[in-house]
């Protein structure tokens, strides 16, 4: 599908990946319908999209409310006559051990990250089937294949999104809707304000997990999927390594990743409990979170060391298993 003149809906468009994607697609001539809870921030994104050469309208939307997501779809069709692409992107995060995570906060992650996507998919697929074409893009995470501690609600939601995408592809195949695509984008750690926005009950400040990739990298991957849809795409080489090792050496991965994430995803700096932006929007509203600029020499070393160490550990495990089989 050509991006130029396509009508694209993006949820969670006020910051991070959503905002980067809006600007990227606007620069390629797309017409955008932008949804987010923060109406003021959305107006800034609309201005940025128009400056980039695209057209955009904003709709204040809480994706946990199905009627508000339905309203986004109605606006897109009434204003532009169709929806070519729907990007489910709005998501929130929670850092806490499982037993210390408040139930209402935990539930809010699932409502936003899973039911928000369900609501978007319902609206998008209904319109796509009426048109017999369209691209649904679900922004997932490498944690859907490489889980981590302290984020069980987020990880569970991302596993759910990956499963949802696969189920939808199967149903569309049975219905012979060969021009409707469901794509899953699985980024590694991305430099966005997600980590500043996250709820946190660990007692330690959160940081982005090294290595950190720019949000524009994800935006370009989304643009590529619109032009040539694929079932899944991983953004960030570290994510590919993590998912491969979680799949081939799950026990080793869990032990190694638990220690690494405890040291690298949480800081030694103490902090108090916070609900982050789960129930109310919070600053900053920007594409970047500033995490790539904060890197030290040590962090730069870790960026290369983490994937290499996991890969090396997996190789050692494979060799050990082969040796055991030979002895048997």
- Active-site residues, by number, are 154
Structure token pair of residue 146: 């490489």
| Other Cβ atoms within 10 Å of 144 Cβ, number | 21
CA–CA distance, 67 with 36 (Å, rounded to integer): 14
Is 183 in a helix, a strand, or coil?
A: strand
3-state SS of the chain: helix, strand, coil percent to 5? 55, 15, 30
Structure token pair of residue 21: 């994607």
Length of the chain equals 328
CA–CA distance, 124 with 295 (Å, rounded to integer): 39
CB within 8 A of 269, min separation 6: which ones? 204, 205
289-308 CB burial, b ≥16 within 10 A, e <16: bebbeebeeebeebbeebbe
Q: Check the CA dihedral 264-260-145-188 and report its sign.
A: positive
Alpha-carbon 130 to chain mean position: 28
CA–CA distance, 236 with 12 (Å, rounded to integer): 21
Structure token pair of residue 324: 């055991």
Q: Which of 278, 263, 281 is nearest to 198 (CA)?
A: 278
């Amino acid at each position: 599908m050509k991006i130029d003149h396509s009508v694209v809906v993006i949820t969670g468009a006020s910051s991070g990946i959503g905002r980067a994607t809006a600007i990227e697609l606007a620069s390629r001539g797309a017409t955008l319908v932008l949804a987010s809870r923060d109406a003021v921030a959305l107006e800034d994104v609309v201005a940025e999209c128009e400056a980039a050469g695209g057209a955009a309208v904003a709709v204040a939307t809480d994706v946990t409310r199905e009627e508000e997501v339905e309203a986004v779809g109605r606006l897109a069709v009434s204003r532009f006559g169709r929806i070519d692409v729907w990007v489910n992107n709005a998501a929130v995060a929670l850092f806490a051990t499982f037993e210390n995570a408040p139930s209402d906060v935990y539930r809010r992650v699932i409502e936003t990250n899973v039911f928000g996507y369900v609501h978007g998919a319902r609206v998008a697929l209904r319109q796509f089937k009426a048109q017999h074409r369209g691209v649904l893009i679900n922004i997932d995470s490498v944690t859907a294949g490489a889980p981590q501690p302290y984020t069980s609600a987020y990880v569970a939601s991302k596993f759910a999104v990956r499963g949802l995408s696969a189920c939808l592809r199967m149903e569309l195949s049975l219905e012979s809707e060969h021009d409707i695509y469901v794509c899953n984008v699985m980024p590694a750690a991305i430099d966005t304000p997600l980590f500043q926005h996250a709820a946190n009950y660990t007692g330690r400040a959160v940081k982005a997990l090294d290595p950190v990739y720019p949000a524009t990298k994800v935006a370009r991957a989304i643009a590529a999927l619109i032009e040539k849809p694929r079932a899944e795409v991983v953004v960030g080489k570290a994510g590919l390594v993590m998912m491969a090792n979680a799949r081939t050496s799950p026990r080793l991965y869990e032990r190694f990743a638990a220690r690494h994430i405890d040291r690298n995803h949480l800081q030694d700096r103490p902090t108090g409990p916070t609900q982050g932006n789960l129930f109310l929007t919070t600053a900053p509203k920007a594409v970047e979170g500033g995490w790539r600029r904060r890197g030290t020499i040590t962090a730069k070393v870790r960026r290369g060391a983490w994937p290499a160490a996991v890969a090396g550990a997996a190789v050692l495990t494979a060799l050990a298993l082969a040796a055991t089989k030979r002895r048997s």
